[in-house]
Structure 1
Amino acid sequence: MRRLRLPFVSDPGGQPVDGQMIIQTSTMGLQFAWIESGRQVIDGRELEQGEGLWLLVLLKGDARFSADKFSVNVDNKMIVFGATRHDSRLEVSENNAILFVRIPAVALGGRLIAPTHYQAGTLDGNSGVGRMLISMLHILADEIGDISTQDLRPVELSLIEMLSSKLLGVAGKRSLGGAEGARAAHLHRIQQTLETLIWDPDLTIAKAADEVGVSPRYLQRLFAADNRSFSGYLKKRRLERCHADLISPLHAQESISEVAYRWGFSSSAHFSRSFRDHFGLSPREHRRSGLANQIEDEMKVNKLWGQYQELSKDRL
């Protein structure tokens, strides 16, 4: 569970938990984990997860989820979701299987209100977009470990778009009616299109406005109503994409300049200055610290695995 940044896991009787897990990470940093185990409890919160959202789908067995004043018996036609870094508790029965998905804030971009607004809840998977989303997650659970990273790319994009659509009215002003709600929903749809264009170093507000079918002035007003600017949003999203790629094992062989150019920066010097101003450290320092954290995680996982094997021998 260390790789998933999940809190302490235990059997209610205090015994080691038997099970198996398959984890796959996408290019945008989404983690997909198929977990099959005996009876166990996942309780608490893990601050190392980083800001973002998580999803949980019950594949077999019984489970109960609780967080704050929210509690529900989980079935395989619902998606449980929540914000990372918040206390929650999941109790699962014997012979259970779940799909756990962690979505970092960088992958969500500006398409949702801050993930902390979505502390815990469920999404109905019986109809509409919810049905399509949960069907895709069930299929992904069957294919996890066999699907290539390249083929996982359209899956992560579809997941984020469908999830954003379902969560659009859950919290904050996007749940309001009237003109304000309509403007926020329109900006959400425009940002979905912009996500496919941020790689273009020549992208301007005029070009973006033409792409989404509005005037530059109207697009500027939409961002201003959300206390942002088009150029500020574009730069932030490019920096966030670079931030994720620099510590991704999938891009470890690429130079920092190659990563910057891929996401629309035309000058490596400008990129480095912007990155430091935004994140407080240079791209090189970020890449070095990210790789060090991955090595540390691997060491901790190996240590815990050794301890588990020793406990298993004692039980025999």
Structure 2
Amino acid sequence: MRRLRLPFVSDPAGQPIDGRMTIQSSTMGLQFARIESGRQVIDGRELEQGAGLWLLVLLKGQARFSADGVSVDVDRDMIVYGATRHDSRLEVGEDNAILFVRIPAVALGGRLIAPANYKSGTLDGRSGTGRMLVAMLLVLAEEIGDIPAQELRPVELALIELLTSKLLGIAGARSLGGARGARAAHLHRIQQTLETLLWDPDLSIVKAADEVGVSPRYLQRLFAADGRSFSGYLKQRRLERCHADLISPLHAQESISEVAFRWGFSSSAHFSRSFREHFGLSPREHRRSGLANRAQDETEINKLWGEYQEFARGRV
């Protein structure tokens, strides 16, 4: 569970937890984990989790989810979601299996409005977008660990777009209405398109407006109403994508310049200056710190595994 940055895990009866876990990470930093175990409780919050969202689907067995004063029995036609670093509790019964997905904020790209509304909740998976999401996650749970990275890429993109569209509708219904809600929904759809164009170093507001079928002036007003500019949003998204790739093991063999050029930067020097201004350290320093943190995690995981084996032997 340390690898997933999940909070304290325990068996209600105080027994060692026996189970199996398969984890796969995507190029955008999403984590997919199939977890099979006996009775256990995952309770609290883990502050080391980066900002973002998580999803949970019950594959077999029984589970109960509690957060924000609400407690529900989880079924296979339901997606449980929540914000990272937020208190919640999951109780699972014997012989259970769940799929856990963690989506970092960098992958969401600021496309969700009213983020405070996403602390925790459930999505109906019996119809519409919810049904498509559940179907995708159930298939993914069967194939996890065997999907090549290049084939996982379209899966993560589809997952993010379906999820943000679903959550946008929930947040819009709760917090935004009328013309403001319509503008936010339109901006969300435009940002979805922009995500596929970040690689283009010649992307301008004129070119982007033509791509999405609006005037440059209207596109500029949409971003201004959201408190941003088109160029500022584009630069931020490119920097965030580079930030994620620089510490991803899938891109460990690529040079810093290769990562920068892939996300639309045409100058290494300009990229390095912009990266330091935005994140407070150089791309090289960020990559080194990411490698160090990963090595520390591996050491801690190995230590915890050794302690568990000693504990289990002592109970035999």
Normalised TM-score (structure 2):
0.98
Q: Deviations over 1:153-174 (max 9, x none)?
A: 1100000000011100333688
* CA shift digits 1:21-44 (9 cap, x unpaired): 000000000000000000000001
Task: Tell me, in whole angstroms, the C-alpha distance in 1 between the residues paired with 2:245 and 2:136.
Answer: 25
Structure 1 counterpart SS, 2:269: helix
* Gap change, CA 1:306 and 1:283, over 3 Å in 2: same
Counterpart secondary structure, 1:34: strand
CA contact (8 A) 2:12 2:40 kept: yes
Aligned twin of 2:135:
135
Task: Determine the C-alpha separation between the residues in 1 that align with 2:70 and 2:238.
Answer: 36
Give the RMSD, CA atoms, in angstroms. Answer: 1.1
Distance, in Å, in 1 between the alignment partners of 2:22 and 2:116 is 27
Match of 1:43, as an amino acid? D
Q: Give the match for residue 255 of structure 1.
A: 255
Q: C-alpha displacement at 1:146, in angstroms?
A: 1.1
Hey, what does 2:183 align to over in structure 1? 183
Residue aligned with 2:24, SS: strand
Structure 1, unaligned runs of 5 or more: none
Contact 1:64 1:73 in 2 (8 A): yes
Quick check: 1:84–1:116 contact (8 Å CA) kept in 2?
Answer: no
Q: Which runs of 4+ in 1 moved over 6 A?
A: none
CA displacement 1:210-241 (0-9 Å, x = unmatched): 00000000000000111110000000000000
Structure 1 residue 114 displacement after superposition? 6.2
Unpaired runs of at least 5, structure 2: none
Distance between the aligned counterparts of 2:274 and 2:83, measured in 1? 28
Measure, in 2, the Cα distance between the counterparts of 1:201 and 1:142: 38
> Whole-Å Cα distance in 1 between the matches of residues 153 and 201 of structure 2?
22
Alignment correspondent of 1:33: 33
2: CA distance between counterparts of 1:224 and 1:60? 47
Query: How far 1:177 moved relative to its partner?
Result: 2.4
Q: Counterpart of 1:234 in structure 2: which amino acid?
A: L
* Residues 114, 299 of structure 1: alpha-carbon distance in 2 compared, 3 angstrom cutoff: farther
One-letter amino acid matched to 2:203 = L
- AA paired with 1:141? A
Q: Give 3-state SS (helix, strand or coil) of 1:134's partner.
A: helix
Q: How far off is 1:110 after superposition?
A: 2.1
CA distance in 2, matches of 1:197, 1:304: 43
SS of 2:170's equivalent in the other structure is: coil
- Partners of 1:78 and 1:125 within 8 A in 2: yes
Q: Aligned with 2:36: secondary structure?
A: strand
Amino acid in the other structure paired with 2:79: I
2:237 corresponds to 1:237:
yes
Q: CA deviation at 1:113?
A: 2.7
**Counterparts of 1:145 and 1:116, CA distance in 2:** 33
Post-superposition CA distance 1:48-81 (Å, at most 9, x none): 1110000000000110111121211111100000
Question: Is residue 218 from structure 1 mapped to residue 218 from structure 2 by the alignment?
Answer: yes
| Partner residue in 1 for 2:301 | 301
Structure 1 equivalent of residue 4 of structure 2: 4
Q: CA deviation at 1:175?
A: 4.5
1:164-208, CA deviations, whole angstroms, 9 ceiling, x for partnerless residues?
Answer: 111003336885221111111110000000000011000000000
For the residue of structure 2 that corresponds to 1:182, the secondary structure is helix
SS for the counterpart of 1:240 is helix
Q: In structure 2, what is the Cα distance between the partners aligned to 1:116 and 1:21?
A: 31
1:111-122 superposed matches below 5 A: 111-113=111-113, 115-122=115-122
- Check whether the contact 1:49–1:85 (CA below 8 A) recurs between aligned residues: yes
Q: What displacement does 1:314 show? A: 1.5
Q: 1:164 is matched by which residue type in structure 2? A: T
Give the 5 Å matches for 1:188-207: 188-207=188-207
How many equivalent pairs are there?
316
In structure 1, what is the Cα distance between the partners aligned to 2:22 and 2:271?
A: 36
> In structure 2, how many angstroms separate the alpha carbons of the residues matched to 1:171 and 1:145?
33
Cα deviation, residue 311, structure 1 = 1.4
- Does structure 2 retain, via aligned residues, the 8 Å contact 1:70–1:120? no
Identity of paired residues, percent? 83
Q: Structure 1 CA distance, aligned partners of 2:202 and 2:245?
A: 21
* TM superposition score normalised by structure 1: 0.98
